Amino acid sequence: MMHGGRMTAEMTDRKLHQRRIVLGISGGIAAYKSAVLCRELARRGAQVRVVMTENATRLVQPLTFATLTQHPVYTSVFTQNEPWSMDHISYARWGELLIVAPATANIIGKFAQGVADDALSTLYLAWDRPALLAPAMNPTMWANPAVQENMRILLERGVRNVGPAAGDTACGEQGEGRMAEPEAIADAAEGILCAPGPLSGRKVLITAGPTREYIDPVRFISNPSSGKMGFAVAEEALTRGAQVTLAAGPTTLNCSDAIRRVDVETAEQMLRAVEEAWEEQDVIIFSAAVGDYTPESRSERKIKKDSDALSLSLRKTVDIARTIGERAVGRERRPFLVGFAAETHDVEECARKKLAEKHFDLIVANDVGQAGGVFGRDENQAMLIFANGEKQDLPRLDKRALAATILDAVVKNSKF
């Protein structure tokens, strides 16, 4: 079954739909405006996570932002919201844009000089994506040569700023120093995140979820894949401007209306969906857990439980990734191929073998036998192995953050 690829009116209005923003709050009196900004970003569709300095928590309670975002607030490098992850690393890998509002003279100085002695400054040093500062302080402080020099350093490094605005400040003085209004900061965020993405105009095909190989009308062979990883990659590719086709096995997950979704059940149906679309794609990502075997024959009626044992004769299904990889060899225009290797032992060795045999450009390898498992969970730990032999070990990440890392690698290593 196919769902249309038309953008809804609601999505058009919500320009930050599903964009991932980390909101940093430092200890300026304008921190009260950050709650309004948080609401405005959410209203425009963004997912927001909040990081606060200790001084900021004395001005506005973290509970305010936890309530607005429905997520824990990161306030200390010694407090972990997830036992398996360092928050300053996981937030840095999850977010697409860091907004610091208010940005005090103190935090600007720390950012410029590489000081990391609180949650926000430590996060900043681990941040390698766009950052937007909304300075707020006394006008004389803003004009101080040291502050201006620190700001110049950050701007030269690619950091953006909005404001400060001129007017009355909290201390009763007038001049440049007021934090920009929340709407203006949100507009600046849109300008950064809604610019043409690195995959603009590119076609990306993703397979996701399990398949079902039927024994009879009510029984089938399948696996625990939830499809979360593939759906995360599809949504991430969409935010980067790609035209996305998602071939999805049986799952309860929903995706954006702008994604062209083809629902399938069996490995054979998944193969047909991929074959129909693959030649026009710039990138194909095989994240589905396709069944390796299917019954030789399917009973048209429910098999009765008349005996103590039941024997099934199984045959191999067509290896979709290998089939497309072999067809792509030698083509002048071939898609960038990404595979997944879910292994329980010898993970790297097995992944490298699949990489070569299926003609992948990149393979994402993970240990599905690890404690806590992978299937159905919201996070994953993987390694990226490239066709040139290079390997990148990744920390345990939220699957959307992992999707972003995978697509970063695709853009960096592809030739389009």
- Rounded to an integer, what is the distance from CA 112 to the centroid of its chain? 27
Q: Is 171 a catalytic residue?
A: yes
Beta bridge partners of 397: 380
User: For residue 284, what are the contacts with CB-CB under 8 A and spacing of at least 6?
Assistant: 204, 205, 206, 274, 278, 324, 335, 336, 337, 338
Beta bridge partners of 384: 364, 392
171, 194, 255, 350: the active-site residue: 171
Give dist(CA 205, CA 280) in Å, integer: 9
User: For residue 358, what are the contacts with CB-CB under 8 A and spacing of at least 6?
Assistant: 319, 321, 322, 325, 337, 339
Give dist(CA 308, CA 227) in Å, integer: 35
DSSP state of 218: T
Residue whose token pair is 């965020």: 189
81: Cα within 13 Å, side-chain hemisphere: 18
> What is the biggest distance separating any 2 CA atoms in the chain, rounded to whole angstroms?
89
User: For residue 112, what are the contacts with CB-CB under 8 A and spacing of at least 6?
Assistant: 149, 150, 151, 153, 154
DSSP state of 15: T
Residue 313: CB atoms within 10 Å: 8
Q: What is the DSSP string of 315-349?
A: EEPP-HHHHHHHHHTT-SS--EEEEEEEESSSHHH
Cite the active site residues: 171
